Structure 1
Amino acid sequence: DYRQKHPEVTILDPPDAIKHLHNRQSMLQDVADLNLSDCNGKVRVPRQMVITKDSLSIPDQVFEAGLKLPLVAKPLVVDGSAKSHELFLAYDRFSLSELEPPMLLQEFVNHGGILFKIYIIGETIKVVRRFSLPNVSKRELAKVVSVFRFPRVSSAAASADDADLDPGIAELPPRPLLERLARELRHRLVNILVFCFH
């Protein structure tokens, strides 16, 4: 163990503690389990399921789970690589068999094409706006049959902080909600000093 061999080195986030954050499902489950109803806002995780193998069975698994289209497919492993930031938007369930497990499938929620990345470092909370996937209309959903790839949708290069945005979409989450969220996640993710979610 590196820590035992090098006690002089300060390790901010021990590898054992961050394993939990490398799995998108367990990371999102921590957020889904929070009850923040008394904080002037809400945090919600869309309905989701994990696909670990067998691409050809994905359409049936989605049907059995009752997930509604469109679906966002995200790699299950979150490791900072370009592949872990790739998203796919599936308009029909049969096109899902083109995807490569392991992955997390989530019901897509229209959100104005903007998301908030929240970085928590110790007691400091930093929120940045990022461009995200565009809204999907009912007309588009009825006409389009395919899966579309979106590499690095919400990366730093997609910053929306200086863009002229509709205030209804781009308003930052209320401070009490952010503070409570940070406090709850710190409590759940013991031994993690730096983390980010969106």
Structure 2
Amino acid sequence: MAEQSTSPADSISRPYTYTIGYAMLSNKRDTFVQPSFLDMAAQHGIRLVAVDTCRPLAEQGPFDLIVHKLYGQPWRAQLEAFSALHPDVPVIDPPAAIDRILDRYTMLDVVSNFDTDSIGIPGQVVVHDAAALADPALAGVLGDLRFPLIAKPVEVDGSAASHDLCLVYRREGLHGLRAPLVLQEFVNHGGVLFKIYVVGDHATCVMRSSLPDVPDERLQDLAADATVPFSNISLLPPPAAGDGDDHAKMPPADFVNKAARELRRALGLHLINFDMIRTKDRDGNCKYLILDINYCPGYSKMPGFEPVLTEFFLEMLSARSGAHEQPGPDSGLGVEAR
């Protein structure tokens, strides 16, 4: 039987209008299904029930909506069988749409179609064969990329290994790296990263720490390590803004909202976040670069996530064909894009 999630405030019976089934790895649930969120959802007639992945999804429920962060063909087959039986139940989000951002090389393709010159992506290449990294003709692989480079696993599968990155300062640092991988040009950005959480049409920008700038002399220091591994840099507190430091200034809200809207619609996804940095182009103009996109991130790290997620689910549920009447955007949640 699917295990029902409850919050401390759910000690008395509540009348529920909707049931949402969620399917996630155990280490991801705590970043999404928080007691505070469960309680707010319950106050608006929503209960969240953990899907039992050991049983056919079609035999569970009934569900009014499915939200998931699981990968692989067996799970996809489960969703397809469920949707065939219940075509009116929304699945957030369709696996075919999620696939595009499970590849770090292709996930950024849509940014090139943005209708603005102030946002782009760093130069990058994908290397499928580790032998190519030791090839004397490596310049043919790197093209116009300049060191330092960020080496990232191509596949994003939710595992800890998919978040193991390296900063490569010079050519010999590439030797021994495992392929396939993406080599992305590192651009100095003041050690500040902007993480934008997107929930439907709502976007919230949070400032986080990033890798510090790399001075030219570090690239020439042959006594220093050629490759340095790192992970979870963005979990550190953001650096304090110094006088005249543009890097640590929050991007304009209208710019964030537009970038989030274009990215979400281009990908056909509702629940994402993306990492963005501010730098300058060759003419000294402000330029934003999108580095990475993640599906269904840990929303517990987003300030005020509870009303945002609750209103989003209410909107999706109310839009269902034949849905029960339920308060929509005027339900008193007071959520605004920011």
TM-score (norm 1): 0.85
Contact preservation (8 Å) 2:241, 2:249: no
In structure 2, stretches of 5+ residues that fail to align are 1-79, 276-338
**Quick one: which of 265, 268, 276 aligns to 1:187?**
265
Task: Tell me which of 134, 153, 174 is aligned to 2:233.
Answer: 153
Please give the per-residue CA displacement for 1:145-189, whole angstroms capped at 9, x wherever unaligned.
5111002222xx3242xx533352211111222122122213311
CA distance in 2, matches of 1:32, 1:145: 34
Given that 2:149 and 2:169 are in contact with CA atoms closer than 8 Å, whether structure 1 keeps it comes out as yes
1:85 aligns with 2:160: no
Residue 133 of structure 2: which of 58, 73, 98 is its match? Answer: 58
Alpha-carbon contact 1:36-1:177 (below 8 Å) kept: no
Q: Which amino acid aligns with 1:149?
A: P
For the residue of structure 2 that corresponds to 1:141, the secondary structure is helix
Residue type at the aligned position of 1:197:
F
In the TM superposition, 1:16-165 aligns within 5 A as: 16-37=96-117, 42-53=118-129, 55-60=130-135, 62-64=138-140, 65-143=143-221, 144-154=224-234, 157-160=235-238, 164-165=240-241
Alpha-carbon offset, residue 90 of structure 1: 0.7
For the pair shown, the structure with the greater C-alpha radius of gyration is: 2
Residues 8 and 180 of structure 1, relative CA distance in 2, 3 Å threshold: closer
Q: Structure 1: which 4+ aligned runs deviate by more than 6 Å?
A: none
Is the CA contact (8 Å cut-off) linking 1:82 and 1:151 kept in structure 2?
A: no
How far residue 76 of structure 1 moved from its aligned partner, in angstroms, is 0.9
- Size of the alignment, in residue pairs? 188
Equivalent AA in structure 1 for residue 177 of structure 2: L
RMSD of Structure 2 on Structure 1 (CA): 2.0
Aligned-pair distance for 1:28? 1.3
Amino acid at match of 1:27: M
SS in structure 2 opposite 1:129?
Answer: strand
Worse-superposed segment, 105-114 or 72-81? 72-81
Which segments of 5 or more consecutive residues in structure 1 lack a partner in the other structure? Answer: none
Gap change, CA 1:86 and 1:153, over 3 Å in 2: farther
Compute the displacement of 1:6 (Å): 4.7
Q: 1:194 and 1:106 mapped to 2: Cα distance?
A: 25
Matched position secondary structure for 1:168? coil
Higher relative contact order (CA 8 A, sep 6+): 1
